[in-house]
Amino acid sequence: MKCETCNVLFEASCAVEVYDKAVRWAGEHVDNSLFRFVGVEHISDIGGEQPGDGTEIGGAFCADEHVWERKDELIPEKSKITAIMWEQNRDVPVGELMTEKQKTSEKF
C-alpha cells in the first residue's frame, strides 16, 4: 500500500487548535484522491514568522502493507500528542509526563 506523510504549517494559539486544523486539512487533502487519512502523528512549534495555514513543508511517500492494522501503534490519541499533553499540563514537571522509554532514550 502506498503511503504519504505530510508536514504542514498551521497558525494557531494552541496545539489542540493545530490538531483540529490538521484533521480538517487532511480531509480536504484526501478528498477526490486514492489516499485515506490515518491520523496526526506529531505536532511541533516552530515559532517566529511562518507561512500561512496549509503550507506543506515536507513529507514522504513509502510503501507499507499493514498501515491500517498498525494505526493504533503509529498514531497516538489526540490527548497523547506531546505538544497537546504538555500544553494541558503546564504545572506538571516534565519528568512526570515522560514515558520510561522517553526517559532512557538518547533521542527524544
Q: What is the pLDDT of residue 51?
A: 65
Q: What is the pLDDT of residue 47?
A: 64
Q: What is the pLDDT of residue 56?
A: 67
Q: Phi and psi at residue 84, in whole multiples of 5°?
A: -70, -45
Q: What is the pLDDT of residue 17?
A: 95
Domain borders along the chain are 2-77
How far apart CA 28 and CA 26 sit, in angstroms, is 5
The cell for 38 is: 490515518
The cell for 67 is: 498501515
The alpha carbons of the chain give a radius of gyration, in whole angstroms, of 15
| Cα dihedral 105, 102, 56, 64 sign | positive
Predicted confidence (pLDDT) per residue in 45-87, tens digit: 776 665 677 766 666 667 777 888 888 888 888 888 878 888 8
Q: What is the pLDDT of residue 107?
A: 58
